[in-house]
A and B are shown apart, each in its own frame.
Chain A
Amino acid sequence: DTGVSQNPRHKITKRGQNVTFRCDPISEHNRLYWYRQTLGQGPEFLTYFQNEAQLEKSRLLSDRFSAERPKGSFSTLEIQRTEQGDSAMYLCASSLATGRETQYFGPGTRLLVL
């Protein structure tokens, strides 16, 4: 399967714990995006990378959230001191920077904070 992959698919944690999610983009894609989706809503943008550079961060991305893409390939999203309000589906997407850029999404990581 050459699509976007995300791990884990599900994560249950207790409030106050740290969690880390991983995203592996489509291999030739140089842009990688993180979105968050809560129940009944469309995905909302969190941040994106072009190669290893993090070029934009949403105001939704509080200082408890950090994302990295150290070698311009896979990316990690870490949430520190999780809160119940962090419960959501975290989606990763990747794209190739062209004039007709299209973002392809992974299956998501569903986080439940108890």
Chain B
Amino acid sequence: GQQLNQSPQSMFIQEGEDVSMNCTSSSIFNTWLWYKQDPGEGPVLLIALYKAGELTSNGRLTAQFGITRKDSFLNISASIPSDVGIYFCAGRAQGAQKLVFGQGTRLTINP
């Protein structure tokens, strides 16, 4: 099925470093969402974006809804061990209810 292009697929960083990941689509979305998933659990919502150009923060996390409405970015500042996990972007097209997900970015942190 249709999926978004999320990159990078994996990241290995040192504790305290900043992290950036992004998601692109060939089609326009009206909503972008970022989720984090731990092994064996469901995705947990981190940030929701509803307007092109919107920049929203949640603690050390900041996400942006791209101006073209075809991309979104997530930044994590000063990473800590509990940030380890898989991060998914998800988009919803106008008039649609279903979410389309990226393939995920696996974040590993070396202490």
Contact = CB atoms under 8 A, between A and B. Distances in A.
A60 B1 contact: yes
A24 to B, nearest CB: 13
B41 A108 contact: yes
Nearest to A59: B1
Kindly name the residue among B43, B45, B104 whose own CB sees the greatest number of chain A CB atoms within 10 A.
Answer: B43
B97 A56 contact: yes
A110 interface: yes
A102 B1 contact: no
Interface in B1-56: 1, 3-4, 6, 31, 33, 35, 40-45, 48, 50
Contacts of A110: 40
13 contacts: A6-B42, A31-B97, A35-B99, A42-B88, A42-B101, A43-B101, A44-B101, A45-B99, A48-B97, A100-B31, A106-B42, A108-B40, A110-B40
B100 interface: yes
Interface of A: 4, 6, 31, 33, 35, 40-45, 48, 55-56, 58-60, 91, 93, 100-108, 110
A22 B73 CA distance: 34
Contacts of A101: 31, 92, 97
A33 B98 contact: yes
Contacts of A6: 42
B66 interface: no
4 closest Cβ contacts across the A-B interface?
A42-B101, A105-B42, A45-B98, A108-B42
Interface string B70-96: 000000000000000000101010000
